[in-house]
Structure 1
Amino acid sequence: MPNPVLFDAFGVPTTLIEVLGFVSGALCVWLVARQHIANWGIGIFNCLMFIVLFTQWGLYADAGLQLVFIALGAYGWWNWVRGGGPADRKGLPVSRTAGYEWIGLLGVGLMSIATITGLLTWYTDSNVAGWDALTTVLSLAATYGQARKRLESWWLWIAADLVYIPLYAYKGLYLTSLLYIGFLALCVLGLRNWQKDLRAPDLAGAAA
């Protein structure tokens, strides 16, 4: 491998790029769960690490997905700041995903899964085209929701992680698979934290 091998994880050489992706990814999700705006900068760095890693291991849709994540990260960063309030905390309030958003996400998602699967099947050597496409679309939908602080974005991330964990293990990326088990736990934590913030105005009104 072109990147320096630091150690073996479950008998598979683990590179510096994968370790950096592991650390920055875990930190990013933890910061999102706490609604800390620094998550966006850490997340962009994480995407750059995974572009290199996924390209090396033939996960081309996931590698291309990172470019979209970077663009969505810039949008989310701007949107959270624009929401008002302290720049390092919770300027944009947590909200629910509207019905029209679900319709749009479902329609675009199904078309995107079919398109990406076809492209990967015809033009790459991927042997996990359908699963790669599914995780790509789920992740994009979740990132869109995260950028707008939609509560349901955590459910989309949970669904994506449940596919990512065995997918990366199948490809031999055991450290990354382990990272996504951690992501899954952090997603549950984030969901609970955002649910509390969503209920806070109602509780405050009831108390008043």
Structure 2
Amino acid sequence: MPVITWLFDAQLVIGDQTVLWREIVGNLFGLLSALGGMRRKIWAWPVGIVGNALLFTVFLGAVFDTPNPVNLLGQAARQVMFIVVSVYGWYRWKHSADAGGAAVEPRWAGGRSRLLLVIGLVAGTAILTPVFTALGSFEPVWADAWIFTGSLLATYGMAKGWVEFWLIWVAVDIVGVPLLISAGYYASALMYVFYGAFTLAGFFVWARARKRAALVAASPDGQQTLGFVHRSM
């Protein structure tokens, strides 16, 4: 198909730098998915899947013979992980909506789950670093492993409706920006800067939503009187 062929080959040249349009478009789909998540809209999941599919081809630069012959295996693998976990999240949110409520009700993960998330992030990074190193991922490999592990936990947390998942994204973005710049993926690095600010805003939006829901539940008649606005990722 002409459109797909153009999207796969199209490039944007800025000075001596070449950026693939599918890297830009894939990240824009990711940002749109994040906006839909913040508003707790079910369409956030399929939109994100489209962006993941595009970015998968971008981060395997050497495999797909792109102008940037750098393989970020963790970044590429996490796109596959995103698609798999997004199918789960899509089903979970859709099932909740079918039950007559919002797509998801934000809630705090709790002390035990928070501890497990931290342990999972550190342990996953330690386990995947030698694996990605053996496969030839870009240095520093631990950063690639950190981003993959954090992305997995954050996406799972979003599907569960945990407010804390936003903070995991912040941790991912802090490491992701310098890694992507050093690897030459400037469009993705720029988007990570926006994501970082966006995820902080998302955390406070979901925290307020959780507080409002708790106040409504505690009211004598159980009725919502605070003008609750649906938001999310």
Query: What is the TM-score when the length of structure 2 is the normalising length?
Result: 0.80
Is it true that 1:159 corresponds to 2:168 in the alignment?
Answer: no
Aligned 8 A contact 2:180 2:186 in 1: yes
> 1:170, CA displacement in angstroms?
1.1
Question: For 1:189 and 1:105, how far apart are their aligned partners in 2?
Answer: 21
3-state secondary structure, aligned to 2:13: strand
3-state secondary structure, aligned to 1:45: helix
Question: For 1:102 and 1:121, how far apart are their aligned partners in 2?
Answer: 28
Give the counterpart letter for 1:112 in structure 2.
G
Measured against aligned partners, the alpha-carbon deviations of 1:91-134 in whole angstroms (never above 9, x if no partner) come to: 32111112332333333333321221101222315222111011
Aligned counterpart for 2:79 among listed residues 41, 66, 75? 66
Is it true that 1:114 corresponds to 2:126 in the alignment?
Answer: yes
Is it true that 1:169 corresponds to 2:174 in the alignment?
Answer: no
3-state secondary structure, aligned to 2:108: coil
User: Identical aligned pairs, as a percentage?
Assistant: 24
Give the count of matched residue pairs.
206
Match of 1:34 in 2: 39
Gaps of 5+ in 2: 1-6, 62-69, 221-233
Question: For 2:205 and 2:14, how far apart are their aligned partners in 1?
Answer: 32
Structure showing the higher helix proportion among its residues: 1
Match of 1:96 in 2: 108
Match of 1:52 in 2: 57
3-state secondary structure, aligned to 1:8: strand
Name the CA shift for 1:109/1:159 in 2 (closer, same or farther; >3 Å).
closer
Measured against aligned partners, the alpha-carbon deviations of 1:138-178 in whole angstroms (never above 9, x if no partner) come to: 11111111111100000110111111111111111111111
Give the counterpart letter for 2:36 in structure 1.
L
Give the counterpart letter for 1:6 in structure 2.
Q
Question: For 1:95 and 1:9, how far apart are their aligned partners in 2?
Answer: 44
3-state secondary structure, aligned to 1:55: coil
Gaps of 5+ in 1: none
3-state secondary structure, aligned to 1:79: helix
> 1:73, CA displacement in angstroms?
0.1
Give the counterpart letter for 2:172 in structure 1.
A
Match of 2:13 in 1: 8
Match of 1:133 in 2: 145
Name the CA shift for 1:94/1:17 in 2 (closer, same or farther; >3 Å).
same
Is it true that 1:22 corresponds to 2:27 in the alignment?
Answer: yes
Aligned 8 A contact 1:20 1:46 in 2: yes
3-state secondary structure, aligned to 2:149: helix
Question: For 1:54 and 1:142, how far apart are their aligned partners in 2?
Answer: 20
Match of 1:197 in 2: 209
Question: For 1:47 and 1:25, how far apart are their aligned partners in 2?
Answer: 8
